[in-house]
């Protein structure tokens, strides 16, 4: 008995399941119906609302977005044309109460776009209807909006629906189309993030005292909702300023997956020290749900001072004679604000017996003047044309050269012949030998000494004579 009862219950359960499936198929949306030739595929998306019961107003049960070839697409950008198919379930009609008086094209209903601010209304010939399907308590069909254009803004597609027999009242229906990129509506959309995609200042370096353009590309990432109140600002170091205006650029609305390039005119200070300076690009905005979004990117700008290293002058000893060592002096000056590194000098000149001299100087600070000395020597008389070459490194380590030409004449050295020999070219024949006797001032001293001696002798003799005469007078007195 129990076995029979269990078998009966299984049979009853199976019958109820089959009945339930049959009911679902009978009440299912219109996409089970064959569409007219050339019409887009009827939507297969999950219904957006529960089908109404008998006697209720129509509702949208599903929708899909397609391209002109009937392929489903996931995004519609502002200004893009597409086809939107809307599935309708209307409980005001049934198998026993069908819509009457179809129009010349066989349509039992009419549709008119009312959300013309966000969707451009297609022509009447581009709005089509699929074959209606009646059930015991409802009517199902689809409206095909061909060649409809998304204009931006809200993603809500609204339209008036009416029937040709006028037995039911006109009703307005709306559906949020989540595929709309950049929509300002929060219905079914996804917010985008905001990033600074790239930034550039146009060259590998910036000269101090020069103007330059810094451009930044900002991007709203993938999503469906636009960003609003987007603005870009710069955070500048002390030695970089905005040439005109301010360091803030207002963009406004930025659709999802859209980008915008903004540019700022900047100037590097003429007194900026050579080196790298950081500029920060900030971007901010507001998402469709009011959430603040922001991002930043740091850009390193290398500033270099103009190079003002000069070879100012060349001085040479004159005259120059064959076989003798002469000199050449080069004067240089660093008028710039940066250091000149590893300066060295070299001299060249065909005919020099000491060509190829190389003098190492080292680093030359800003505002410094100095000289490099070279010796000049030649074995033969004549003019020698050559050049002085200075080699150095700039602040970036790049080797540079500077050249300056010179011209020098070497003469025969007449003093090279023997002073005591005979020069046959001398017009007087023998060369008078110079005197080797005592100089005149020696003789003068001798004469002066003799005079002094004579005076002393005279005085002594005179005194002796006077003394002798005195003695003789004394003897006579006695």
Say what the pLDDT of residue 128 is: 93
pLDDT at 371 over 50: yes
Say what the pLDDT of residue 152 is: 83
What digits encode the pLDDT tens for the residues 228-259? 899 999 999 999 999 987 889 999 988 878 88
Is the pTM higher than 0.75? The answer reads: no
Alpha-carbon span 125 to 85, nearest angstrom: 15
Return mean pLDDT, the chain: 79
Say what the pLDDT of residue 270 is: 87
Cβ atoms of residues 82 and 70 within 8 Å? no
What digits encode the pLDDT tens for the residues 165-213? 988 999 999 998 888 876 666 555 567 788 898 999 888 888 888 899 9
What digits encode the pLDDT tens for the residues 77-132? 888 999 999 999 999 999 999 998 898 888 999 999 998 888 998 887 889 999 99
Which pLDDT band, with edges at 50, 70 and 90, does 285 fall under? very high
CB atoms within 10 A of CB 391: 16
> Which domains, from first to last, does the chain contain?
26-176 (no CATH), 194-304 (2.60.40.10), 309-415 (2.60.40.10)
Q: How many residues does the chain have?
A: 478
Residue 289 structure tokens = 């749900």
Which pLDDT band, with edges at 50, 70 and 90, does 415 fall under? low
Please classify residue 101 by burial: count the beta carbons closer than 10 Å to its beta carbon, then call 0-12 exposed, 13-18 middle and 19+ buried. Answer: exposed
* 376: Cβ contacts below 8 Å, ≥ 6 apart: 316, 317, 320, 325, 326, 327, 328, 352, 354, 384, 408
Provide the 3-class DSSP secondary structure of residue 145: strand
pLDDT at 309 over 50: yes
């Amino acid at each position: 008995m129990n076995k029979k009862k269990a078998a009966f219950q299984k049979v009853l359960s199976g019958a109820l399941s089959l009945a339930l499936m049959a009911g679902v198929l009978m009440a299912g949306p219109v996409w089970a119906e064959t569409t007219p030739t050339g019409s887009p595929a009827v939507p297969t998306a999950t219904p957006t609302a529960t089908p109404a019961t008998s006697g209720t107003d129509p509702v949208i049960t599903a929708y899909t977005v397609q391209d002109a070839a009937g392929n489903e697409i996931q995004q519609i950008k502002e200004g893009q044309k597409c086809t939107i198919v809307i599935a309708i379930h209307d409980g005001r009609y049934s198998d026993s109460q069908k819509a009457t008086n179809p129009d010349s094209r066989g349509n039992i209903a009419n549709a008119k776009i009312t959300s013309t601010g966000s969707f451009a209304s297609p022509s009447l010939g581009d709005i089509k209807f699929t074959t209606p399907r009646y059930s015991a308590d409802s009517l199902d069909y689809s409206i095909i909006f061909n060649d409809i254009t998304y204009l931006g803004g809200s993603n809500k597609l609204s339209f008036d629906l009416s029937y040709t027999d006028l037995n039911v009242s006109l009703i307005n229906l709306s559906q949020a189309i989540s595929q709309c990129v950049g929509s300002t509506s929060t219905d079914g959309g996804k917010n985008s993030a905001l990033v600074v995609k790239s930034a550039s200042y146009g060259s590998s370096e910036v000269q101090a005292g020069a103007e330059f353009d810094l451009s930044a590309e900002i991007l709203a990432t993938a999503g469906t909702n636009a960003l609003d109140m987007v603005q870009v600002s710069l955070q500048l170091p002390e030695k970089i300023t905005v040439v005109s205006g301010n360091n803030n650029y207002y963009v406004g609305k930025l659709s999802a997956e859209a980008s915008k390039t903004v540019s700022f005119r900047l100037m590097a200070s003429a007194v900026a020290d050579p080196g790298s300076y950081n500029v920060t690009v900030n971007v901010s905005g507001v998402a469709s749900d009011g959430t603040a979004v922001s991002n930043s990117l740091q850009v390193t700008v290398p500033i270099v001072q103009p190079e003002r290293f000069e070879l100012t002058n060349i001085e040479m000893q004159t005259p120059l004679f064959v076989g003798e060592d002469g000199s050449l002096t080069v004067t240089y000056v660093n008028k710039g604000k940066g250091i000149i590194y590893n300066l060295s000098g070299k001299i060249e000149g065909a005919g020099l017996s000491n060509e190829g001299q190389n003098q190492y100087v080292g680093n030359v600070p800003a505002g410094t003047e100095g000289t490099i000395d070279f010796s000049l020597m030649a074995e033969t008389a004549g003019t020698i044309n050559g050049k002085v070459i200075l080699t150095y490194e700039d602040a970036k380590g790049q080797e540079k050269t500077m050249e300056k030409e010179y011209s020098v004449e070497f003469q025969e050295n007449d003093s090279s012949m023997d002073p005591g020999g005979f020069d046959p070219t001398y017009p007087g024949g023998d060369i008078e030998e110079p005197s080797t006797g005592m100089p005149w001032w020696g003789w003068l001293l001798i004469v002066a000494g003799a005079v002094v001696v004579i005076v002393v002798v005279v005085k002594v003799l005179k005194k002796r004579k006077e003394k002798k005469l005195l003695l003789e007078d004394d003897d006579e007195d006695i």
